[in-house]
Chains A and B, each alone.
Chain A
């Protein structure tokens, strides 16, 4: 029976030589296996558990173009300056659709042994690392993973060898830009060996905003013994952009992983975070901030699996939804048999700023153990009218009071970001977003950001 996968399978079968010729190593080696998985598979739709509000099938059904022959698409790289963070000096890499575009001197600025660049190139020069981790952390048995694996030709590899601590944060700017509508199959592999440390900022932007874009993104993260990885992702895409991003994290003992996912503007976004705490004393902090308006749809889904004793996880997701925006949050915590002394907390707080906005949340706890501390809480409400009147009675105009209260609501999520200089930047972006002055990327040279 035909479904949205059929067109991608046909595309692959008709072009496999071309696809392989523009990619490398392990990326090519697992394509046939991925194809095999897709034969009788379907992408999840609203009847699938966990996808009640977001149909992946519908997202992938339109006939997008895929740039399998790797035509060089010109892009206004200057627009990425928009993502410059004052007081934060980063090592910048840019991905246009799904191809890594090196910036000048990036490689020379990286410490010895550290790789931050094209995944295709990484598969050639760091064969051992890519062979060991690529398509190993994300489960191939799932259709969306198999689909991405079948078609991904490039993306990003970050490799930090044992004991190396990066001083400057890495910054990855994803730019969607194409003269026609396009689907990008991005792949990201992040490997921090034992004791390594890195910070990363990811920004997503759209140029040529009239076109339709679809992003399929699979991110695999390996955080070795005692390693530490902190990242923050900010999405500012267009109303015509659909994104299905899945992040799979494997953490070893004493490792630390923290991730903040911020959605400022988008079309339809589904982010999934699946984190395995695979060694004792591993620690995870997952935070999400969503500001929805117009007809934006944002669905965040987390699954944190405590597989070993004495691990700690903390989740905080906050949404403010206005107009006809819709949001969903499904978060699950699994404490496996034998994972004693687990501490796992989850909190989801939402504000509906209009009567037409909708929020769906479904927290889940599965505990197969006695000695644990776990909690979850979810609330959805409206802006505090008493606080608003108090502000107005002091002369603060209603609209400004609204903005201040919504911003105040997000303060703890912003505070969860520990990359210096970035908190102030996030506050500024959130302020502009709420006051309606966050522009689109086209023509912006960063001066007014």
Chain B
């Protein structure tokens, strides 16, 4: 039997006093791919931000566990060490911090968390080379500042590259398809698929069915007004593509 990796129960969260999540329940097992879809403003990015520990959000009720560890008690950095990864919808530019230093700090922080010695310079560079190949990330980007001056496609590839380096148990991809042309989409989705094993899980947050042609979900959830209002198989995404979100809205606004 596959193990439960992420368990979210009755999660409520607000930003600046406004309640966005109003009781989310979600259960993700090893080896699974989940898609979370929903119209604008339904709380998709809030859910990913709350799980990653963004201090901008306040959890008002509910629980979340990552392979049995109480996620909400952990700092964002410890959530990362425990195996949670968020691919940002808008990856942040950090002028003056090189990609190499950024990744070295991240990798060695994780090793320290597990009482391991820092990677030697040569082992680190070797790993960077291998992981870059997964998303065909240009070597030149490594010496640049984090995301600074990267194109939209390069930023998203860079997210998946970081995911490859950190080897998370649960990866949340927040609107990874936004701002990507079809070729970049193929590369990014290909990278995600290469990283998929029967021991980890992926949560794909998206507006459109398009990405799901490349990353095949086992489950599709519809998030609306801060709750998961419908769950189904891959066919639910196709149904949404065809009918839009209006029927969901009508049904739930009654």
Contacts and interface: CB of A to CB of B under 8 A. Distances in A.
B166 A394 contact: yes
B113 A393 contact: no
Which of A386, A394, A397 is packed against the most chain B CB atoms within 10 Å?
A: A394
Interface of B: 52-56, 75-77, 79-81, 85-86, 88, 91-97, 101-102, 105-106, 109-110, 113, 145-146, 162, 166
A390 B53 contact: no
Q: Is the interface of A mostly helix, strand, loop or mixed?
A: helix
B52 A393 contact: yes
A387 interface: yes
Contact of B80 (A386, A387, A392, A410): A392
Interface in A11-51: none
Interface in A386-401: 386-387, 389-398, 400
Nearest to A411: B96
Contacts of B101: 404
A140 interface: no
A383 to B, nearest CB: 11
A341 interface: no
B14 to A, nearest CB: 18
A395 B96 contact: no
Given A394-B106, A400-B105, A405-B97, 18 more contacts: A385-B55, A387-B93, A389-B56, A389-B76, A391-B105, A392-B75, A393-B52, A393-B80, A393-B86, A395-B109, A395-B110, A395-B113, A398-B75, A400-B109, A404-B105, A405-B94, A405-B96, A408-B95
A240 interface: no
A398 B91 CA distance: 18
A392 B53 contact: yes
Given A389-B55, A394-B162, A395-B77, A407 B105 contact: no
A391 B94 CA distance: 9
A393 B96 contact: no
A409 interface: yes
A22 B102 CA distance: 57
A265 to B, nearest CB: 22
Contacts of A389: 54-56, 76, 92
Nearest to B82: A395
Nearest to B103: A394
Task: Give me the 10 closest cross-chain CB pairs, A-B, nearest first.
Answer: A408-B96, A395-B80, A392-B76, A390-B92, A411-B96, A394-B106, A408-B97, A395-B109, A387-B94, A392-B77
14 contacts: A384-B92, A386-B92, A390-B88, A390-B146, A392-B77, A393-B76, A394-B162, A395-B166, A396-B105, A397-B109, A398-B77, A405-B94, A408-B145, A411-B96
Contacts of B75: 392, 398
A394 B80 contact: yes
Nearest to B95: A408
A409 B52 contact: no
A385 B54 CA distance: 10
Given A390-B88, A391-B102, A396 B94 contact: no
Given A405-B97, A407-B96, A408-B97, A393 B109 contact: no
A396 B101 CA distance: 11
Instruction: Find the residue from B93, B96, B109, B145 having the highest chain A CB count within 10 A.
Output: B96
A42 to B, nearest CB: 44
A102 to B, nearest CB: 41
Nearest to B112: A397
A387 B101 CA distance: 14
A387 B54 CA distance: 11
Contacts of B86: 393
B135 to A, nearest CB: 16
A395 B81 contact: yes
Contacts of A390: 88, 91-92, 94, 146
A421 B162 CA distance: 32
B92 A387 contact: yes
Q: Most chain-B Cβ atoms within 10 A of its Cβ — which of A397, A405, A409?
A: A397
Contacts of A384: 92, 94
A424 to B, nearest CB: 14
Contacts of B166: 394-395
B207 to A, nearest CB: 22
Chain B CB count within 10 A is highest, among A389, A393, A397, A404, for A393
Contacts of B85: 393
A269 B101 CA distance: 33
Nearest to A406: B96
B109 A396 contact: yes
Contacts of B80: 392-395
A386 B105 CA distance: 18
B97 A404 contact: yes
Contacts of A409: 96
B237 to A, nearest CB: 27
Contacts of B91: 390
Contacts of A392: 53, 75-77, 80
B106 A396 contact: yes
B33 to A, nearest CB: 21
Give the one of A387, A392, A397, A405 with max B CB within 10 A: A392
